[in-house]
Copies of this chain bind each other. A is one copy, B any other.
């Protein structure tokens, strides 16, 4: 039933109206759940809807209202598990409230980020969930501000004076990593990161540093940051290890502040024939499915994707519904999974590839 001839024009609200013998306005009201309609007419409308297989055209529907039921989501990339599941979550939450999510990737470019935002503004989206490439002070957030758009900033942000922010509590997680490493006896740790993501990198670095130094003031913390690209980081890391190896004072552990850094560190270990955790320990910010399948399993900070997405959507819809309170910065706690890639620095440097496990 309700099987219409394919390829045909879909029935409009007027078709339903004439089939039910009422006006289009009445159909609209019935479907919106207005109670001031005679039951008899409501029934006939429902019948006609059923018979014609009618469904409201969201485009036409949104046309008439001030706020359209579309949410925009801008992520720096779609290729990682973190942003992938973030989009999945956001889409589900938007759908729950009858909104459509339009997601776009800024591909780690602030220029593109702003263009996408302009296009979403053209669509007159009700709200935007923006995961900025760098931080909350970029051109995209400025654009949103200048055009009075409503939105939430997530992930690589700390706090903002115009928008709500939701992100992982990087500092606390990093402090926990520091406690774990220092607790295992590590006193010389290398931290690697990407300077571009200034907002969170600083929080992660300082969280780690202060916790480590508090527990063991003699801890030596080296830092290798690449400005904006991942590849330069590989070179910097290579140089760093070469120098340290020559001077025989290489770190006993590496803490990567972002996923690609973990991969770069791992492959640099490979190149040098170092094995985790005997030759060096490794912890990375951001978990991934493969990390528990490889040997050794890689220790990682797990970001609370569901919580971030859920909170972002909640606060966003509050704003859409007119909440005018001051913007709030929310931090969600992470989980730190200490896996086999972390051990005591016992075996000492240059221990070679002998025994594992």
- Residues of B within 8 Å of A122, CB to CB, are 55-58
> Contact: A79 with B84, CB < 8 Å?
yes
Min C-beta distance of A108 to chain B, whole Å: 11
Q: Which of A257-273 contact B (CB under 8 A)?
A: 260, 263-264, 266-267, 269-270, 273
| A63 contacts the other chain (CB 8 A) | yes
| A107 contacts the other chain (CB 8 A) | yes
- Residues of B within 8 Å of A121, CB to CB, are 55
Mark A293-335 against chain B: 1 for CB-CB distance below 8 A, else 0. 1110100000000000000000000000000000000000000
| A202 contacts the other chain (CB 8 A) | no
Q: How many chain copies does the complex carry?
A: 2
- Residues of B within 8 Å of A68, CB to CB, are 59
Q: Top 4 nearest A-B pairs by Cβ distance?
A: A7-B148, A6-B148, A78-B84, A267-B293
> Contact: B353 with A353, CB < 8 Å?
no
| A292 contacts the other chain (CB 8 A) | yes
Give the docked Cα–Cα distance between A31 and B276 (Å).
62
Query: Which A residues are within 8 Å of any B CB, using their own CB?
Result: 3, 6-8, 10, 55-60, 62-63, 68, 77-81, 83-85, 87-88, 91, 100-105, 107, 118-119, 121-124, 145-148, 260, 263-264, 266-267, 269-270, 273, 275, 288-295, 297, 353, 356-357
- Residues of B within 8 Å of A270, CB to CB, are 293-295, 297
Min C-beta distance of A56 to chain B, whole Å: 7
Give the docked Cα–Cα distance between A216 and B191 (Å).
51
> Contact: A88 with B100, CB < 8 Å?
no
Residue from the list B87, B145, B289 in contact with A105, Cβ < 8 A: B87
Q: Which of A103, A118, A124 has the most CB of B within 10 A?
A: A103
Min C-beta distance of A77 to chain B, whole Å: 7
> Contact: A357 with B273, CB < 8 Å?
yes
> Contact: A124 with B59, CB < 8 Å?
yes
Chain B residue, CB-CB nearest to A264: B293
Give the docked Cα–Cα distance between A11 and B141 (Å).
22
Contacts A6-B147, A88-B107, A270-B293 aside, 11 further interface pairs with beta carbons under 8 A come to A7-B148, A10-B124, A56-B122, A57-B124, A60-B63, A77-B88, A79-B84, A87-B105, A269-B295, A275-B295, A290-B290
Chain B residue, CB-CB nearest to A273: B357
